Amino acid sequence: MSAGLVVQTREFDLADDLLGYADPADPRAWLRRGDGIVAAGADVARVVRVSRGAEPRTAALSRAWDEIRGSARVDDGVRLPGTGLVAFAALVFDEASAADSVLIVPRTVIGRHGGRTWITRIRDADDPGLDADADAGAATAPAPTALGPHWAGTLGPGAQTAQGYQASVRAALSAIADARYGKVVLARDLVGTVPAGSDLRRLVRALSTEYPDTWAFAVDGLIGASPETLVTAQDGVVTARVLAGTTARGADAVTDARAAAALADSPKDNDEHAFAVRSVVASLAPHTTALDADGGPFILELPNLFHLATDVRARLSDGASALDLAAALHPTAAVAGTPTDAAIAAIRELEPFDRGRYAGPVGWIDAQGNGEWAIALRCAQFDVAGSDRGAPIGLTAYAGAGIVAGSDPEAEMLETRVKFRPIVDALA
């Protein structure tokens, strides 16, 4: 059995971009408007991978995290979101997926929040160099590195073509008409490569710059920019943002305003949004009190899209961790459908690929159970495990749309095209 961990967080004078500290080949990052946390370098203190099995993977990860944090000694002199013992994690969408859910504890974490910056060092208790490193502070801080040369990726049709996607939508509409389910979210994929040796931090940078109001994330080769916060838990306060109902932005101020008004008035999109809000409220209710979902959806503006959005806020009542809450919420109606079991079965039937971690929870958790989790959207999965072989790095990108009664197959396919834009533009 390995020794427990010794964790120390101290203020750190950071003038540089956080991404400069991340590993170019396999960055681990969680960023929004310049704040967030990154793993400095490639070294890790713990990695937990959970594959398909009899036990739910989130339960296995939660148990593993309880063991890690239970045996850790944490000295946190900063006490901000993201300080102390933290782990990055990315979970699969479907328990039947062949991909792994993963939880990663870096050796060094550097963060920024509200103008304050820090460094966290995580060591094994039996590390012979522990005493020498104690309270070393910025004197032994890792040095940031400049981002590598610009690169461009290639993307092309994946397992689900545009024509195949529309056929799947028509099949879903037939099932909805037969009352087999009320909503299903169907995705399609694009596959491609980026050149060998590419600095993947450039993709994170592009996404966080172009889409500053999203969570830009990178965990185990899953890189994206999600507009949808699955759940945040901090000091007993639980918040979530529900997005469902989407339309493209207009080309000018007049068409932009018309697009927003049409979305706000759309029965189809409002029904889809109501499905999603109800699923989140029902999932949070057993763990919270004083649960409040705003009276009606508002229009969330992104550079390329409008979304219907509702913010949910509650008070934690049972001590559940952010990971526990993410497990309770996933999959929401916004990324699966309703009823959940029927929607998941339909996705398995109608999507000719394994989603892996696309549309699954991605985020971080700390020793107190606080954390921030988003839904892995506007993203691509990179084969970082094979990136040291000198060959181009493979990737798969995903985008989906919610199908309800009244959906139009061509319009839903065009919606996925708009949702692909962030990752396609960033790879260009």
CA angle 45, 46, 49 (to 5 degrees): 155
Cis peptide before 339 (omega within 30 of 0): yes
Distances, alpha carbon 33 to alpha carbons 73, 215, 240, 418, in Å: 31, 9, 18, 23
Q: Which residues of 48-58 are buried (b: 16+ CB within 10 A; e: fewer)?
A: bebeeeeeebb
> How far apart are alpha carbons 243 and 308 in whole angstroms?
6
228 is catalytic: yes
Tokens for 23, please give them.
């590993």
183 is catalytic: yes
Choice among 55, 67, 95, 183 that is catalytic: 183
Cis peptide before 331 (omega within 30 of 0): yes
Q: DSSP states of 231-254 as a string?
A: EEEETTEEEEEEEEEEEEPPSSHH
CA angle 264, 265, 270 (to 5 degrees): 75
Phi, psi of 88 (to 5 degrees): -90, 150
Q: DSSP states of 152-198 as a string?
A: --EEEE-SS-HHHHHHHHHHHHHHHHTTS-SEEEEEEEEEEEE-TT-
Q: How many residues are there in the chain?
A: 428
Choice among 11, 228, 272, 419 that is catalytic: 228
Active-site residues: which are they?
A: 183, 228
